[in-house]
């Protein structure tokens, strides 16, 4: 049985029925967003442990894979002995455990690594840095233009350096848990990559179609090699002279919506957003104790409009969609997540928004049927 599992790991990369899960974990979940450059190591450990237990064996260290293969083999043998009545009793949870473990792409936000620096310099999604005191970022003299450009690049380099520290911590923890993880910085590392809102982008959120395709190719090559890519929201060029932000939610939208990325996109099973709250609420649950968790949202495939689906009744309710918010968030918050979710659903992927360190998050990543999971918001197409 152990040999069978090892052969499966070796042959997995050539299998046509591979499944990929894109997991975006928010910076507010893995850092203390109120205190600059402060990790939430407990949450990072939880996440690394979850990934280690859910990802396909081919992405684990050799020693970890051998141990996991033996354990998985024992579980499979027990499942093969399970009677049909036991299987019916266990329901969809048993079915989920029998699914082949997926490949996983991790994208994380910046949290207190990057957001504080970006805010100091005025970097925001869709906007370039603004000089201290509110001076125009587009000076009309050549000397002022050079000063502005230096300010912009200072903003970019310091913000990027900060978020790369968090990326290194994420990768290190995944390595500690036996996962062959590699960090990927999308900003200036990918030729042509531009911040959200750049005029050179093919759309306002794609970061540039050609550059996004290059990023997708880098991710796909990592997956094919048995490396788990860990990508971070980044500071990058807005145009030749200005800096801006390319948030993690925007990256999710670009990955699932990249028109030339059929090799990877067709295998994406779903997109999971892990946040600091239990899903999408009727208003900010941190400010309103009466905020209601919305369990199901439906996306109109033609218009992209999002409707509230209560108990599958298809009743559309108009309310102010709320999530958590932070003073230092420069990436768009829940609005950016819902924008990415709409794109993903329109590309045929289900989207889940769920709380970090929760049993519900674990079940969703493990592939349980959403109807069996206690919390979280599931976003699907409107039929």
Main-chain dihedrals φ then ψ at residue 134, nearest 5 degrees:
85, 15
Contact 344, 255 (CB under 8 A): no
Q: Using alpha carbons, select from 282, 303, 307 the residue that is nearest to residue 380.
A: 307
Provide the β-strand partners of residue 229.
Answer: 182
Show the tokens assigned to 24: 């975006």
Residue with structure tokens 């407990």?
Answer: 42
What pLDDT, on the 0 to 100 scale, is given for residue 315? 40
Vertex 220: Cα angle to 218 and 221 (nearest 5): 65
Q: How far is CA 239 from the centre of its chain?
A: 25
Beta-carbon count within 10 A of 284 CB: 16
- CB within 8 Å of 254: residues ≥ 6 apart: 205, 206, 207, 212, 215
d(CA 19, CA 382): 23
Burial class (CB in 10 A: 0-12, 13-18, 19+), 269: middle
Q: Which structural domains are found in the chain, ordered by start?
A: 19-61+92-294+319-372 (3.40.1160.10)
Mean pLDDT by 10 residues, the chain (383 residues): 48 59 97 93 99 96 65 39 41 52 96 89 62 47 68 92 98 98 92 71 53 91 97 90 88 82 79 95 87 92 84 43 47 76 92 97 96 95 89
What pLDDT, on the 0 to 100 scale, is given for residue 12? 41
Q: Using alpha carbons, select from 278, 298, 294, 297 the residue that is nearest to residue 286.
A: 278
What pLDDT, on the 0 to 100 scale, is given for residue 297? 93
Q: Using alpha carbons, select from 321, 323, 371 the residue that is nearest to residue 350.
A: 371
Main-chain dihedrals φ then ψ at residue 7, nearest 5 degrees:
-65, -40
What pLDDT, on the 0 to 100 scale, is given for residue 273? 97
Dihedral angle of Cα 33, 35, 36, 39, to the nearest 10 degrees: -70
Q: Using alpha carbons, select from 331, 306, 328, 167 the residue that is nearest to residue 245.
A: 331
**What DSSP state is assigned to residue 285?**
T
d(CA 241, CA 203): 20
């Amino acid at each position: 049985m152990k040999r069978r599992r090892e052969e499966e790991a070796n042959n997995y990369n050539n299998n046509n029925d591979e499944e990929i899960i894109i997991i975006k974990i928010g910076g507010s979940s893995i850092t203390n967003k109120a205190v600059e450059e402060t990790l939430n190591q407990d949450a990072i450990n939880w996440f690394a442990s979850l990934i280690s237990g859910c990802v396909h064996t081919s992405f684990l260290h050799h020693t970890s894979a051998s141990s996991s293969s033996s354990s998985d083999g024992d579980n499979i043998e027990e499942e093969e002995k399970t009677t049909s009545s036991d299987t019916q009793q266990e329901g969809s949870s048993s079915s989920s455990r029998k699914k082949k473990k997926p490949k996983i792409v991790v994208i994380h936000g910046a949290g207190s690594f990057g957001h504080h620096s970006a805010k100091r310099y005025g970097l925001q999604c869709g906007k370039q840095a603004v000089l201290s005191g509110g001076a125009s970022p587009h000076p009309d003299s050549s000397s002022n233009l050079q000063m502005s450009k230096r300010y912009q690049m200072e903003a970019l380099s310091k913000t990027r350096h900060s978020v790369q520290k968090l990326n290194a911590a994420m990768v290190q923890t995944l390595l500690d848990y036996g996962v062959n993880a590699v960090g990927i910085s999308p900003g200036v590392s990918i030729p042509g990559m531009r911040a959200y809102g750049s005029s050179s982008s093919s759309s306002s959120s794609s970061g540039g179609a050609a550059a996004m395709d290059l990023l997708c190719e880098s991710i796909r090559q990592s997956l094919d090699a048995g490396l788990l890519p860990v990508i971070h929201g980044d500071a990058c060029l807005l145009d030749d002279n200005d800096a801006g932000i390319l948030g993690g939610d925007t990256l999710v939208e670009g990955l699932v919506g990249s028109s030339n990325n059929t090799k990877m996109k067709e295998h994406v099973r779903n997109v999971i957003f892990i946040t600091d709250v239990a899903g999408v609420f009727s208003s900010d649950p941190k400010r309103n104790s009466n905020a209601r968790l919305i369990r199901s949202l439906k996306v109109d495939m033609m218009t992209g409009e999002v409707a509230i689906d209560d108990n599958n009744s298809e009743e559309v309710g108009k309310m102010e969609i709320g999530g958590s918010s932070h003073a230092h968030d420069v990436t768009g918050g829940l609005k950016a997540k819902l924008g990415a979710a709409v794109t993903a659903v329109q590309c045929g992927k289900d989207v889940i928004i769920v709380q970090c360190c929760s049993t519900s998050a674990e079940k969703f990543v493990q592939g349980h049927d959403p109807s069996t999971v206690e919390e979280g918001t599931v976003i699907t197409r409107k039929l």
